[in-house]
Structure 1
Amino acid sequence: MTGDSLIGSAMLAQHMPELDAPGQGSPAARLASLHTGQLRDAAAHLAGVLSALTAGRTDGESAIGEISRGWSAPSPRIGSGRLLLTAQETAVLLLRQAAAIEGVCVVIDRAVFDARIDVHLALAELKHLRDATWVDQVGGIFGVPQAAKALRINGIARELDAALRGRLASVEAALDSLRSGLAADPTTGPDALRGGRDPLLRPDPVMNPAYRTDQRNRAALAADLGSDDPTRIRFAMSILHSLREAADRSGSAALIVYDPGAYAGQGRAAVAVGDLTTATNVAVVVPGIANSPSQMAGGIDLAADLRDESMTQSPGEQTAVVVWYGYDIPLSWPKDPDSSLGTDIRDTVAAASAQSAAAAAPVLAADLRTIRSMSQSSARVTVLGFSMGSTTVSEAARYDLPVDSLVLMGSPGAGWDTRSAAGYPSVPASQVYILSYDQDPITLPVTDNLASRVTGLAEPYGTDPASKAFGGTNIDVSTNVAALAGTGLVASLLRVGGDPRHHSMRNYMQGRALAAEGSIVVGRGRDVPVKPGR
């Protein structure tokens, strides 16, 4: 980061005396001074030594046979074996130290990059401050002009300072881990070469598709923050906030999909909560109607809950959860950064059938293959869909997917082209899980009847996956919403036709439902309570 790129922090600091201008001790200046060249040179030197040790060990192993034939006494062979063992232990140490150095370089690069985005975001907010507000005008009467504007700039400056200090803290924490790794004693065995419970930062994430995709998308996001298009700025700000929330919950976040121009102003995005590159278990969550990539906070929070639950059930394994807001979501327009009347009408009508799910199926299938390529080859992959998201997941599963399990939650139907769980080519029926609350009207015939009146379709959403005929594995858990009390007409009707309070993504991803989903994600289907279909 250059000094010029941080000029915004100086502009902000002049409005807030408590913030130091970016001098030598400020977070901005310290981030700007960070360079990874010497660290990477050191890692390259270690790699060279490691290569020499490996070659020498290979030659030594072939020589042991000759030594054994040349000397009948065991001492030369034993001595040579100890030498080779020492070389192996040293090679292991150097490999881990080189990986730790490279990992810290990645942390530094990410912190500097994110700091640039922090500054761009602050400048974008400044850029769009109005020249005066009614509070400013009132302040002028009392001799305090531009009061509101000054207060807002003060707040922006404080937020920027806090963000930059957070970036710097992540670098310092990584450097502390590196110091620990470099001080490790090889005579204490491999376990002493670990910085805590997990290994030191793993080698070369730069070559992983997840890292490259994340960097490319973050660069596009930063460009949108500095653009003159208010819609793109709003979309970029919302995605940036989602990334920060994901990183706060899991310590790692990646921007897997970023397309602000998709779907007539809705845009599309996907964020990984946790590290895809090291995860043993990967889950992809697809939301339903009335959601938008511009407001992903709820989805991020539930994804983090699922990740926490999965890692609690299988503490020795890492889990990453991707929230996929990558399709044209019906009824998203109240939350989208831009829309038109015609788009809003089409967006609303789309909620009455599986048409949007069918159109989204090849998009989700393609993104699932991409996500799979970003993960370890041995990782277990589970796809969970809620409401229209479940219909989208079912439609996508008609393709040959690198997926182990499906979970259809609060589903209005499996889509137009799937009559049973046996219809998915790459997922066995036993791994197709259904979670439908009997109190949820979206899963009941009442929703089909209403949608049929709008569309004229006999089965607007397709077969009910919770039915016995569908042949899926029905999860036996109760709703987390309390039963509606009272004996009045409204209460009686809701008990018969379903209560909309039961149809929420949070209700389907908490309590015993969340525990069952966590078991599926980590491959412990035997722990999932099941029941017959409807």
Structure 2
Amino acid sequence: MRRFTRTLVAAALTATAVAGTAGWASGSSQQPVTGAPVGTAQWRADGLPDPERMTPAQVAAYFGSLAPRRQRELAAAHPTVVGNLDGAPPALRYAANARATGAGFAGQQVLAYDPRGRGQAVLVYGDLTKAAHVSVIVPGSDIDAGNLAPLTRKATALREATGGRTAVVAWAGYTTPVGVGLDAATGGLAEAGAGRLTRFAEGLAAVGAAEPSVFCHSYGSVVCGLAAHDMKAEDLVVLGSPGMRTDNAAALGTDARVWAAKDPTDWIDRIPHVEVAGLGHGTDPTAPEFGARRIDAADAEGHDGYFAPGTASLRTFAAIAEGVAR
């Protein structure tokens, strides 16, 4: 009876949160964008290997078998496919996406761009294949191809904090929630995003990039929690997290070091850390019982201030990114 009562209380708290009185606000429902890249039908019609039947390692092997001239021909003829193939050479993807996006991302290294829905984009700062260390930042709600600035600020701040020694990926490669409504309180978008994030990490390995440190903000930490058991990473860092859909770090099933940060002014702290009937995301990763390494974020401000220059959290993030944090 006592356990049943606790469950009812948790459910009531979660419902309250979703309703908006404990931090969740309204948001419109989103449909995740998944599947093969735009233009795949014509790619297949030209007799080229089916992207949905190749792993990133197989994609890398296929492009490795082609002469550079043939690679460039494929990028010119099928930019929306080549530009989104995890495992294809990064420089070739940058060229394909420059063609596909026109002036939309002038001067940027665009590793992926999908115009469907609200749009998805993956930007790279630094040399992805030559850098000794690679970091990937996974965002939360409201980030899409038309609203990348909050994410790119984090990416550039992290790269600058490492003195430019770490390649940093701004990974807006999944359909994020809009606002913090029901989508943000449930795991559907995160499940779709986890598959895309896992494949992206496989693509990094396929092109010889360093195993990444993955920084997961807000709802992005739900994505990372669901991807963790399949995703190869040196470190898994969550910040401003509503939970990772697991009770503790050990249950994530990852060999990565797991870190967590939450500043005292972050509104996420008002969200009940429970998971009932699909609502909520479970234990607070900064709670002692979760078992993550706690990052000092006392001087960060609000839900979006963890990468602010001069903060203790950014200094620790930089140390993690460079492989020197203990």
More strand by share: 2
2-structure distance, mates of 1:470, 1:215: 43
Alignment of 1:214-253 (within 5 A): 214-222=94-102, 237=104, 240-241=105-106, 244=107, 253=108
- The one of 191, 205, 208 equivalent to 1:372 is 205
Say whether residues 1:267 and 2:114 are aligned partners: no
1-structure distance, mates of 2:267, 2:146: 27
Alignment-derived partner of residue 329 in structure 1: 176
More helix by share: 1
Moved over 3 A (4+): 456-459, 506-510
Q: Tell me by how many angstroms 1:447 deviates.
A: 1.6
Alignment-derived partner of residue 320 in structure 1: 167
Alignment of 1:272-421 (within 5 A): 272-311=124-163, 318-331=165-178, 348-376=181-209, 379-399=210-230, 401-415=231-245, 418-421=246-249
2-structure distance, mates of 1:275, 1:425: 30
Going from structure 1 to structure 2, the CA distance change for 1:208 and 1:370 (only over 3 Å counts) comes to closer
Spell out, residue by residue over 1:475-517, the C-alpha distance to the aligned partner (whole angstroms, 9 max, x if none).
Answer: 1231333xxxxxxxxxxxxxxxxxxxx111x344441111000
Please state whether the residue corresponding to 1:217 is helix, strand or coil.
Answer: helix
Q: Tell me by how many angstroms 1:462 deviates.
A: 2.0
Going from structure 1 to structure 2, the CA distance change for 1:447 and 1:320 (only over 3 Å counts) comes to same
What is the TM-score when the length of structure 1 is the normalising length? 0.42
Spell out, residue by residue over 1:318-338, the C-alpha distance to the aligned partner (whole angstroms, 9 max, x if none).
Answer: 311000111111017xxxxxx
Please state whether the residue corresponding to 1:364 is helix, strand or coil.
Answer: helix
Q: Is this contact kept in 1: 2:128–2:167, CA < 8 A? A: yes
Q: Tell me by how many angstroms 1:382 deviates.
A: 0.3
Please state whether the residue corresponding to 2:118 is helix, strand or coil.
Answer: coil
Tell me which amino acid in the other structure corresponds to 2:160.
Answer: D
2-structure distance, mates of 1:371, 1:258: 16
Alignment-derived partner of residue 271 in structure 2: 447
1-structure distance, mates of 2:128, 2:238: 23
Alignment-derived partner of residue 90 in structure 2: 210
2-structure distance, mates of 1:426, 1:447: 26
Q: Tell me by how many angstroms 1:391 deviates.
A: 1.4
Alignment-derived partner of residue 475 in structure 1: 295
Please state whether the residue corresponding to 1:514 is helix, strand or coil.
Answer: helix
Q: Tell me by how many angstroms 1:367 deviates.
A: 1.1
* Bigger relative CO (Cα 8 Å, ≥ 6 apart): 2
Q: Tell me by how many angstroms 1:387 deviates.
A: 0.4
Q: Is this contact kept in 1: 2:88–2:207, CA < 8 A? A: yes
User: Identity, % of aligned pairs?
Assistant: 29
1-structure distance, mates of 2:159, 2:206: 20
Structure having the higher Rg: 1
Tell me which amino acid in the other structure corresponds to 1:447.
Answer: I
Q: Is this contact kept in 2: 1:388–1:411, CA < 8 A? A: yes
Please state whether the residue corresponding to 1:304 is helix, strand or coil.
Answer: helix
Alignment-derived partner of residue 249 in structure 1: none
Tell me which amino acid in the other structure corresponds to 2:170.
Answer: V
Tell me which amino acid in the other structure corresponds to 2:195.
Answer: P
Alignment-derived partner of residue 232 in structure 1: none
Please state whether the residue corresponding to 2:272 is helix, strand or coil.
Answer: helix
Going from structure 1 to structure 2, the CA distance change for 1:421 and 1:389 (only over 3 Å counts) comes to same
Spell out, residue by residue over 1:267-319, the C-alpha distance to the aligned partner (whole angstroms, 9 max, x if none).
Answer: 2110001110211110000111122221212322221110111137xxxxx31
Q: Is this contact kept in 2: 1:380–1:523, CA < 8 A? A: no
Say whether residues 1:255 and 2:135 are aligned partners: no
Q: Tell me by how many angstroms 1:522 deviates.
A: 0.6
Please state whether the residue corresponding to 1:423 is helix, strand or coil.
Answer: helix
- The one of 257, 260, 276 equivalent to 1:434 is 260
1-structure distance, mates of 2:191, 2:307: 23
Q: Is this contact kept in 2: 1:353–1:461, CA < 8 A? A: yes
Q: How many residues align?
A: 241
Q: Tell me by how many angstroms 1:221 deviates.
A: 1.9
Tell me which amino acid in the other structure corresponds to 2:101.
Answer: L
Unpaired segments of 5 or more residues in structure 2? 1-71, 77-86
2-structure distance, mates of 1:209, 1:426: 27
Q: Tell me by how many angstroms 1:441 deviates.
A: 2.4
1-structure distance, mates of 2:286, 2:300: 19
Spell out, residue by residue over 1:14-55, the C-alpha distance to the aligned partner (whole angstroms, 9 max, x if none).
Answer: xxxxxxxxxxxxxxxxxxxxxxxxxxxxxxxxxxxxxxxxxx
Going from structure 1 to structure 2, the CA distance change for 1:436 and 1:350 (only over 3 Å counts) comes to same
Alignment-derived partner of residue 6 in structure 2: none
RMSD between aligned alpha carbons?
2.6
Q: Is this contact kept in 1: 2:185–2:279, CA < 8 A? A: no
Q: Tell me by how many angstroms 1:355 deviates.
A: 2.8
1-structure distance, mates of 2:88, 2:227: 25
2-structure distance, mates of 1:292, 1:392: 15
- The one of 280, 285, 300 equivalent to 1:465 is 285
1-structure distance, mates of 2:199, 2:244: 19
Unpaired segments of 5 or more residues in structure 1? 1-108, 114-206, 223-235, 245-252, 313-317, 333-346, 482-501, 527-534
Alignment-derived partner of residue 64 in structure 2: none
Please state whether the residue corresponding to 1:306 is helix, strand or coil.
Answer: helix
2-structure distance, mates of 1:374, 1:514: 28
Q: Tell me by how many angstroms 1:458 deviates.
A: 7.4
2-structure distance, mates of 1:292, 1:254: 16
